[in-house]
A and B are shown apart, each in its own frame.
Chain A
Amino acid sequence: MVFPGTWSDRDCAHAVLDVLQEPVRYIDHREQTVDDVDLVILPGGFSYGDYLRCGAIARFAPVMEAVADFAHRGGLVLGICNGFQILQEARLLPGALLRNASCEFRCEWVHLRVEQSNSAFTLDCRPGQVLRIPISHGEGNFFADADTLDALERNGQVVFRYCAVDARVTAESNPNGSLGNIAGISNAHGNVVGMMPHPERACEPLLGGDDGLILFRSAIRALTRVAV
Chain B
Amino acid sequence: MRYRAEVFVTLKPVVNDPAGLTIRGGLHALGFASVTEVRAGKYLVLTLDERDAEQARARLDDMARQLLANAVIEDYRIELEPIGEPIAAGERSS
Contacts and interface: CB of A to CB of B under 8 A. Distances in A.
Q: Do A and B bind each other?
A: yes
Interface of A: 52-53, 56, 60, 88-89, 94-96, 98-103, 141, 143-145, 177
Nearest to A55: B70
Given A52-B68, A96-B70, A98-B73, A143 B15 contact: yes
B72 interface: yes
A60 B66 CA distance: 10
B16 interface: yes
Given A52-B67, A56-B67, A96 B73 contact: yes
Contact of A99 (B18, B42, B68, B72): B18
A103 B19 CA distance: 7
Given A52-B67, A56-B67, A103-B22, A177 B16 contact: yes
Contacts of A98: 11, 15-16, 18, 73
Interface in B6-23: 11, 14-16, 18-19, 22
Interface of A: prevailing SS:
loop
Interface residues of B, number: 13
A30 B69 CA distance: 24
A89 B14 contact: no
5 contacts: A52-B42, A95-B72, A100-B18, A143-B16, A145-B14
A103 B24 CA distance: 13
Contact of B73 (A101, A143, A177): A143
A96 B73 CA distance: 7
Given A52-B67, A95-B72, 12 more contacts: A52-B68, A56-B70, A88-B72, A96-B72, A96-B73, A98-B15, A98-B73, A101-B18, A103-B18, A103-B22, A144-B72, A177-B16
A193 B19 CA distance: 28
A225 B78 CA distance: 52
Interface string B28-54: 000000000000001000000000000
Given A52-B67, A56-B70, A143-B72, A99 B15 contact: no
Question: Taking each of B42, B68, B73, which has the highest tally of chain A beta carbons within 10 Å of its own beta carbon?
Answer: B73
A145 B22 CA distance: 23
Contacts of B67: 52, 56, 60
B40 to A, nearest CB: 9
